[in-house]
């Protein structure tokens, strides 16, 4: 039986265009794999369009109800943070990716750090600053980032008080809580974890990011950054990264696929952050990592749909 999948892209946040690219890539890959695909777009103002639905979520629900599976390709707040997972759970519709709880925890960088430390994974020393706090002082270079945002929007390196004030002001444009962390010196290494339909989860080969300076929003999308996959690391480091990635995936309760970002230091992996709905164009990091393991882009999205069918929603009778 051919499955009908509704792919949701866009969103009401700074990652709108990135989400549209992911949605377009996923939709094309699914059609190539023989799936029937409906596409819904959440506009920047919150209106919905596509699949015969225009304007309201109520109209879009009809499209969602006709689908066998929902593939939410919305990155960032009001999407990746568990919002769409909650909607799918309420209408009892199988959904690709992590549920509400894992999405909410993974989107909150401070909560992610607390979970990581609880399961023995190192993170950069840091603290949360509320927007408007006065007399904020840090010694040495720090990285400033919104607590809940993606694609490195609002992320900046601060080397002095002036840069710190500017960075805090920029980050505050994306969230009312800001995370300030010590700079970690190490190689930037990503690992993706996939949970298959039978519940088995496994980690991809590691990918290394080569960027001049901070891997910020501009370097992510202007083509200046380079990726090496598999990363040139020894067996001990690969095992340490894989183990840490699987522990984070399990501790957060992730499903589908997640990308776990690390700094690889002389003392081992240091967690940077977790993406429960990572970029998923054919050229994105996650598809590249699985391609290195022999899983094509079309196979990856098909496996995600298959896994969603076999993952119960959280709103169910015991």
- Residue of 49, 163, 208, 221 marked active site: 221
Task: Work out the number of other CB atoms within 10 angstroms of the CB of residue 76.
Answer: 24
Q: What are phi and psi of 216, to 5 degrees?
A: -95, -175
Under a CB-based contact definition with an 8 Å cutoff, are residues 143 and 157 in contact?
yes
- Residue of 9, 10, 13, 15 marked active site: 15
Q: Say whether 294 is catalytic.
A: no
- Residue of 19, 98, 272, 275 marked active site: 275
Q: Say whether 272 is catalytic.
A: no
Under a CB-based contact definition with an 8 Å cutoff, are residues 69 and 305 in contact?
yes
Under a CB-based contact definition with an 8 Å cutoff, are residues 34 and 44 in contact?
no
Joined together, the tokens standing for residue 212 give 């001049």
Q: Say whether 13 is catalytic.
A: no
Task: Work out the number of other CB atoms within 10 angstroms of the CB of residue 185.
Answer: 9
Q: Say whether 279 is catalytic.
A: yes
Task: Work out the number of other CB atoms within 10 angstroms of the CB of residue 270.
Answer: 18
- Residue of 181, 261, 284, 297 marked active site: 261
Q: Say whether 151 is catalytic.
A: yes
- Residue of 19, 98, 148, 151 marked active site: 151
Q: Say whether 15 is catalytic.
A: yes
Distance CA 128, CA 142 (A): 13
Distance CA 314, CA 292 (A): 33
- Residue of 195, 259, 288, 303 marked active site: 259
- Residue of 108, 216, 279, 284 marked active site: 279
CA–centroid distance for 245 within its chain: 14
Distance CA 265, CA 188 (A): 9
Q: What are phi and psi of 138, to 5 degrees?
A: -135, 145
- Give the single-character DSSP code of 276: S
User: Which secondary structure element, helix H or strand E, spans residue 286, and what is its range?
Assistant: helix 285-291
- Residue of 38, 216, 273, 298 marked active site: 273
Q: What is the set of active-site residues? A: 15, 151, 221, 259, 261, 273, 275, 279
């Amino acid at each position: 039986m051919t499955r009908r999948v509704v792919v949701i892209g866009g969103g009401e946040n700074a990652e709108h265009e990135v989400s549209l690219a992911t949605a377009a890539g996923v939709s094309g890959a699914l059609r190539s794999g023989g799936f029937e695909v409906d596409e819904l777009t959440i506009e920047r103002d919150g209106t919905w369009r596509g699949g015969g639905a225009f304007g309201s979520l109520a109209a879009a629900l009809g499209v969602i109800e006709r689908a066998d599976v929902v593939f939410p390709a919305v990155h960032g707040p009001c999407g990746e943070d568990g919002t769409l997972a909650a909607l799918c759970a309420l209408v009892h519709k199988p959904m690709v990716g992590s549920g509400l709880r894992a999405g909410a925890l993974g989107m909150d960088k401070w909560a992610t750090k607390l979970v990581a430390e609880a399961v023995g994974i190192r993170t950069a020393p840091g603290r949360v600053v509320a927007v408007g706090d006065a007399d904020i002082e840090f010694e040495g270079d720090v990285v400033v980032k919104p607590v809940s945002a993606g694609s490195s929007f609002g992320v900046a390196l601060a080397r002095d008080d002036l840069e710190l004030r500017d960075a805090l002001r920029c980050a505050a444009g994306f969230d009312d809580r800001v995370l300030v962390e010590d700079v970690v010196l190490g190689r930037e290494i990503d690992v993706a974890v996939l949970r298959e339909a039978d519940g088995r989860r496994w980690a991809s080969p590691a990918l290394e990011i080569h960027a001049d300076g901070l891997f910020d929003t501009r370097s992510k999308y202007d083509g200046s950054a380079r990726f090496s996959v598999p990363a040139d690391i020894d067996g001990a480091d690969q095992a340490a990264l894989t183990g840490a990635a699987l522990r984070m995936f399990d501790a957060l309760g992730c499903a589908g696929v997640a990308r776990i970002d690390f700094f690889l230091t002389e003392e081992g992996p240091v967690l940077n952050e977790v993406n429960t709905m990572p970029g998923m164009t054919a050229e994105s990091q996650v598809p590249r990592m699985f391609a290195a393991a022999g899983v094509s882009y079309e196979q990856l999205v098909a496996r995600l749909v298959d896994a969603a069918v076999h993952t119960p929603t959280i709103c169910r009778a015991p």
